[in-house]
């Protein structure tokens, strides 16, 4: 039996693993299928104090730091949580094994919200992408569209502007009010980025006569945009589908600590009412681990 089972290997989960391991608690991190979570997809990390490399490099550093203090990491996803604080929590992993812990820290993060328009699902991986750093290199010297108006969308557009010939940002509102000023300024300075405000997409389809896989995106007012690829950045939803229906979640699937059973704690982007930043994820990872450590000490 583990003292602490941490679900997720993003900055929140890895920080929690560091603190729990350093407190001499038997710690298991079930890291899913990707070390670092969303952080791993950041090519240049500018706004995490003390770090100037990529997100994936930071994730690897944090992993080694947690392992130094005894945290065990397995790249398995949680499929179900059963049991309680009295009898122990049973986590069913994607590998078919059951992992038993005295406490649980949920740090499974969030995933990009999927675009629900005609053609979007069918063309996922065939011109429609949710990860610019993963798929951007396919579009060297081509034309791409980024859909969204927050920090993620503008960061994606800036990243793609160094690869693609032209980048068009499609945003349903009249200005990038949710994005940081520094990103808005950088976008406005790039000659190969065009912003299409008050524009929303209604459907997407392959261009009939295209020999190169171009897409035709039809807007809600009937206009057409032709491009080689579409990168979607319209928000995130918490990764909490593995939890039972009785667990209270907000409209983004996120969890409030006050609604969780005794012995279960939450950290990172899955935490309700939290700014989705690496720094805040690290902070809640620290806090959740310290709460779990205090809880375990009371059991002794």
Is the pLDDT confidence value at 133 over 90?
no
Distance (Å, whole) CA 135 – CA 231:
9
Q: Give 183-217 as a DSSP string.
A: HHHHHHH-TTEEEE-S--EEEEEE-TT-SS--EEE
In the residue annotation, 135 being an active-site residue is answered as: yes
Task: Tell me if residue 134 is catalytic.
Answer: yes
Select from 3.40.50.10490, 3.50.50.60, 3.20.10.10, 3.40.50.1370 the CATH code of 128-232: 3.50.50.60
User: Is 131 assigned a catalytic role?
Assistant: yes
Active-site residue, selected from the candidate residues 84, 134, 241, 250: 134
Q: What is the pLDDT of residues 209-261, one digit of tens each?
A: 877 889 999 999 999 999 999 999 998 899 999 999 889 999 889 999 999 99
The residue annotated as part of the active site, out of 135, 200, 286, 291, is 135
115, 187, 177: which is closest to 154 by C-alpha? 187
pLDDT tens figures, 111-121:
989 999 999 99
pLDDT of residue 211: 75
- Whole-angstrom CA distances from 172 to 85, 149, 191, 220 are 46, 8, 22, 10
Choosing from 3, 84, 95, 131, which is the catalytic residue?
131
For the beta carbon of residue 140, count every other beta carbon within 10 angstroms.
10
Domain locations in the chain?
A: 2-111+236-299, 128-232
pLDDT digits (tens, 9 = 90+) for 140-160: 999 999 999 999 999 999 999
- What are residue 100's DSSP bridge partners? 90
Residue-wise pLDDT for 29-60, tens only, equals: 999 989 999 899 888 888 899 999 999 999 99
Q: Which CATH class is domain 2-111+236-299?
A: alpha beta
């Amino acid at each position: 039996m583990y003292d602490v089972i941490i679900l997720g290997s993003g900055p929140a989960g890895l920080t929690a693993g560091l603190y729990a391991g350093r407190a001499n608690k038997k710690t298991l991190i079930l890291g899913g299928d990707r070390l670092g979570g969303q952080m791993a997809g950041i090519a240049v990390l500018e706004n995490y104090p003390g770090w100037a490399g990529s997100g994936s490099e930071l994730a690897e550093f944090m992993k080694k730091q947690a392992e130094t203090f005894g945290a065990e990491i397995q790249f398995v996803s949680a499929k179900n949580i059963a049991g309680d604080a009295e009898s122990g929590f049973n986590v069913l992993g994607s590998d078919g094994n059951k992992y038993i812990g005295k406490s649980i820290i949920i740090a499974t993060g969030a995933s990009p919200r999927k675009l629900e328009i005609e053609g979007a699902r069918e063309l996922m991986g065939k011109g429609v992408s949710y990860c610019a750093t993963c798929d951007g290199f396919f579009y060297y010297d081509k034309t791409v569209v980024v859909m969204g108006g927050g920090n993620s969308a503008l960061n994606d557009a800036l990243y793609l502007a160094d690869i693609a010939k032209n980048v068009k940002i499609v945003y349903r509102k009249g200005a990038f009010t949710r994005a940081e000023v520094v990103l808005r300024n950088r976008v406005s300075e790039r000659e190969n980025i065009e912003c299409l405000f008050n524009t929303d997409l209604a459907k997407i389809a392959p261009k009939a006569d295209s020999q190169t896989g171009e897409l035709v995106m039809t807007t809600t007012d009937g206009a057409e945009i032709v491009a080689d690829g579409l990168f979607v950045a319209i928000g995130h939803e918490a990764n909490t589908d593995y939890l039972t229906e009785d667990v209270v979640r907000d409209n983004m699937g996120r969890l409030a600590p006050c609604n969780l059973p005794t012995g279960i704690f939450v950290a990172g982007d899955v935490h309700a009412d939290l700014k989705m930043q690496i720094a805040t994820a690290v902070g809640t990872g620290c806090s959740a681990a310290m709460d779990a450590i205090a809880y375990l000490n009371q059991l002794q």
